[in-house]
Amino acid sequence: MSRPSIPNTFTPERKAIFLAVLEDTASPKAAAAAAGIVRSTAFYHKANDLEFRSQWEAAVEVALDSLLEEAYRRAAVGVDEPVIHQGRVSTVADPETGDERPLTVRKYSDRLMEVLLKWRYGDQMADRLRVKVDSTGLDAEALLRMSADERKALTGLLSKYHANKEQDDDE
């Protein structure tokens, strides 16, 4: 038993809406909902329409570039966060206007910076770390599994160890 033919509801207008939302969100689910179609319709057209597949991939690239830009901003430029003291936002007088404004502190994401560097320079960074690590007898893979704070603490302890060892060698 064959199904009756259903007219193509994925019109050029709906495709444009789908691609615009996909470009903003990288989410086929959100894009399909905005275009008023089911996801399977979009995936069907992606599999069977080379031009649409190309547009889909370009839209996802734009969305991912936006994520990369935001990750970079948070890691390298930083984000102003309000200072909270005793459950309230601390304020300071604006030097130009005298108005009260929230006191902020710029925070950077070391973890995002680490992820971006690993993404961009993964093998190079691992090789550099391995050279430094091999001379200490530590395992590079184990160090990479540690958090940045744990590696920082270990670095501090190793520095103290080497300083004490040098003193012992001098005596």
Residue 74: which H helix or E strand, with range?
none
85 within a domain of the structure (yes/no): yes
102 & 84 share domain: yes
Report the first-to-last Cα separation within the chain, whole angstroms.
94
Q: Phi and psi dihedrals of 98, rounded to 5?
A: 80, -5
What is the tens place of the pLDDT at every residue in 4-34?
434 578 999 999 999 999 999 999 999 999 9
Give the domain range for residue 91: 78-108
Give strand ranges (E) for 27-163: 79-82, 84-85, 88-89, 91-93, 100-102, 104-107
1 within a domain of the structure (yes/no): no
164 within a domain of the structure (yes/no): yes
For residues 37 and 9, is the Cβ–Cβ distance under 8 A?
Answer: yes
Q: Model's pTM, two decimal places? A: 0.58
**How far, in Å, CA of 10 to CA of 150, rounded?**
52
| pLDDT band for position 162 (cuts 50, 70, 90) | confident
What is the tens place of the pLDDT at every residue in 108-123?
888 888 888 888 777 6
128 & 98 share domain: no
